[in-house]
Structure 1
Amino acid sequence: MADKPGNQTPNTPDVSETELRGMRVDELRDKAKEAGIGSTSTMKKEELVHAMAEAGGGRGGADAKGKKAAGEKATGGTDGGEGAGPDGGRIRTGSGTSDSLKYSQEVTSPEDEPEREGRSLVTTHHEVIRKWAEERNGVPATVPGTEHGDSLGVLRIDFGGDSDTLREVSWDEWFATFDERRLNFIYQEQRSDGRQSTFFQLENPEREDA
């Protein structure tokens, strides 16, 4: 298919796949984001071409975003189910991806189960994170004094609810910052002895402050 000229994607007459294939991968990713396409950081060039063609090549970006918004739930996108977030629960990678991320089990749905007790897990799925925190009486929080302009500072989950060193925020604020910084949520459901675990770690694959 890559050797054929023109557009091979049905119902997308205004999109030239040949033109798209002539672009650099970083250019395709930028245009894909403008068109409202998620998870572009993990896509290969041909996947980006197909996604762009189906979305109208970026020319119909507003329409693509509108269709996406119409199909989304209030707490996230359609990719990984209700409350998935912009990356469908999938991990975010970068130049500073740690070994702890590489060796963690990826969770992309609330139905996913740990392979064993004490298993290190990782997700970006909003509903998975919220459910995990609420089962442990945790609330979304930030560290006062670490703000970035109008954005929240260092993100935390407060399991005590009355910490003087943390400020409670809404889940909407917390997840907006979580996604803006492309963070991953590394956590445990249970310790190796079977007891409930409250361990979690926020990691930025670009090694910026979480």
Structure 2
Amino acid sequence: MADKPGNQTPNTPDVSETELRGMTVDELRDKAKEAGIGSTSTMKKDELVRALAEAGGGRGGADAEGEKATRRTGGGEGAGPDGGRIRTGSGTSDSLKYSQEVTSPEDEPEREGRSLVTTHHEVIRKWAEERNGVPATVPGTEHGDSLGVLRIDFGGDSDTLREVSWDEWFATFDERRLNFIYQEQRSDGRQSTFFQLENPEREDA
């Protein structure tokens, strides 16, 4: 049966399903993320269209996203100033462009070994703690009163790293507008400790 023109979803007068159905799956997934809809990687096109229509098609997405982020993290605490979204700039790398954006602890990798990227504090802290990692910095690389190069120490007693608090670590992470590129699992399914901190303006991490 042919699709009827216009909006077929009740109580969403400003959303055109016809417009949504004309988009590609990747475009729909991007729009769904903007609207705060999670688990989009496993959704088919019809499911994405329906979810977007019910969410208002992403219009007013900031309010909807903020409300959902609040529910997920308890008052919005844990997401960070950018709500987990990546930071871009003139030096944005290809590795960032081709990584899957994670904006919630509920997001899952599309496949094993997938490169992921986030600025979400809770996601980063959970990932590190699951691997017995602690926030750290490299002594001797300080910037005035600010921490030096940021690292995560998986060894515990490293002479080349100094443990710091998560509050200090994240304050510096946000001040430098860093992105956290990482893996949950290697391509063979084993747990991965790979991560990389990247500044989209190509400044020191």
Q: Same fold (TM over 0.5)?
A: yes
- Asked whether the equivalents of residues 108 and 125 of structure 1 are also in contact (C-alpha less than 8 Å), the reply is yes
> What is the deviation of 1:89?
0.1
Please, what TM-score do these two structures have when normalized by structure 2? 0.65
Indicate the residue corresponding to 1:75 in structure 2: 70
Q: In angstroms, what is the RMSD of aligned CA positions?
A: 8.0
Hey, what's the Cα distance between the residues in 2 that align with 1:114 and 1:41? Answer: 8
Tell me which stretches of 4 or more aligned residues in structure 1 moved more than 3 Å: 1-66, 72-82
Indicate the residue corresponding to 2:120 in structure 1: 125
Which of 198, 202, 209 is the equivalent residue of 2:204? 209
Query: Secondary structure of the residue that 2:26 maps to in structure 1?
Result: helix
Hey, what's the Cα distance between the residues in 2 that align with 1:88 and 1:132? Answer: 17
Q: Unpaired runs of 5+ in structure 2?
A: none
> What is the deviation of 1:86?
0.2
Shift of the 109–50 alpha-carbon distance from structure 1 to 2, 3 Å rule, reads: closer
Q: Deviations over 1:159-204 (max 9, x none)?
A: 0010000000000000000000000000000000000000000000
Hey, what's the Cα distance between the residues in 1 that align with 2:40 and 2:110? Answer: 28
Moved more, 130-139 or 36-45: 36-45
Please, what TM-score do these two structures have when normalized by structure 1? 0.64
> What is the deviation of 1:82?
3.4
> What is the deviation of 1:80?
9.5
- Asked whether the equivalents of residues 92 and 183 of structure 1 are also in contact (C-alpha less than 8 Å), the reply is yes
Hey, what's the Cα distance between the residues in 2 that align with 1:104 and 1:203? Answer: 12
> What is the deviation of 1:117?
0.1
Hey, what's the Cα distance between the residues in 2 that align with 1:191 and 1:29? Answer: 24
Hey, what's the Cα distance between the residues in 1 that align with 2:22 and 2:144? Answer: 39
- Asked whether the equivalents of residues 73 and 83 of structure 1 are also in contact (C-alpha less than 8 Å), the reply is no
Percentage identity across paired residues of the two chains? 96
- Asked whether the equivalents of residues 70 and 76 of structure 2 are also in contact (C-alpha less than 8 Å), the reply is no
Hey, what's the Cα distance between the residues in 1 that align with 2:2 and 2:168? Answer: 43
> What is the deviation of 1:15?
28
Q: Unpaired runs of 5+ in structure 1?
A: 67-71
